[in-house]
Amino acid sequence: MEALRSQIGARSLGVYAINYPASSDFSSSDFPLTVIDGVRDASTHIESMAASCPATRQILGGYSGAAVAGYVTSAAVPPDVPAAAVPAPMPAEIANHVAAVTLFGTPSGQFLNRYGAPPIAIGPLYQPKTIELCANGDGVCGAGNDPVAHVSYAMNGMTSQGADFAARHL
């Protein structure tokens, strides 16, 4: 957030942390439920902000497990997922209130498949305003196998890159 704060000048900036039990234990049987909890909380907050503060430009962001909240931008429930088990996609008009989506270390489809989860599909209304950053060697979002790469985002300049992207979209 500090990288973005320094870019937006006198504009106000508020932060909302998604309320869900974050975990790096992707193989836990509870992992899909934590993702669903995160998507539900994120979409509820985003829709509430759009309704109560319609002039506010929201920036969605997440790292690793929180980046799976990128599901919140999906235009449809993923195939093979029972629609009743997950929150419905947000109404299309909500995309007008989202300035940018910045995701760091987003679990790849191949990575999620190992744990029985569907790939994250950024919806078409959000694609032009989304940046997904994956550190070289990060095996969660890419083809690498360097565990240090997955925790390098705060030090490798990518948070600044994400902040630049978000600030340009405000």
Q: 3-16 as b/e, with b when 16 or more CB fall inside 10 Å?
A: bbeebeeeeeeeee
Q: Count of domains in the chain?
A: 1
**Is 150 noted as a catalytic residue in this protein?**
yes
Q: What is the pTM of this model?
A: 0.92
Contact 113, 148 (CB under 8 A): no
* Within-domain flag for 50: yes
Q: Report if residue 127 sits inside a domain.
A: yes
Residue 146 appears among annotated catalytic residues: no
Strand partners, 104: 63, 133
Instruction: Going from the first residue of the chain to its last (170 residues), give the mean pLDDT of each consecutive group of 10, the final group possibly shorter.
Output: 90 91 75 82 96 97 83 89 88 98 94 85 96 97 94 95 97
Residue 145 lies in a domain: yes
Which range marks the domain in which residue 123 is found? 2-9+24-169
Q: Is residue 117 classed as helix, strand or coil in its secondary structure?
A: coil
Q: Confirm whether 54 is domain-assigned.
A: yes
**64 has catalytic annotation:** yes
Does a structural domain hold residue 155? yes
Looking at residue 72, which CATH number applies to its domain?
3.40.50.1820
Give the integer Cα–Cα distance in Å for 59 and 38: 16
Query: Could you tell me if residue 14 is inside a domain?
Result: no
Catalytic residue of the set 43, 64, 108, 152: 64
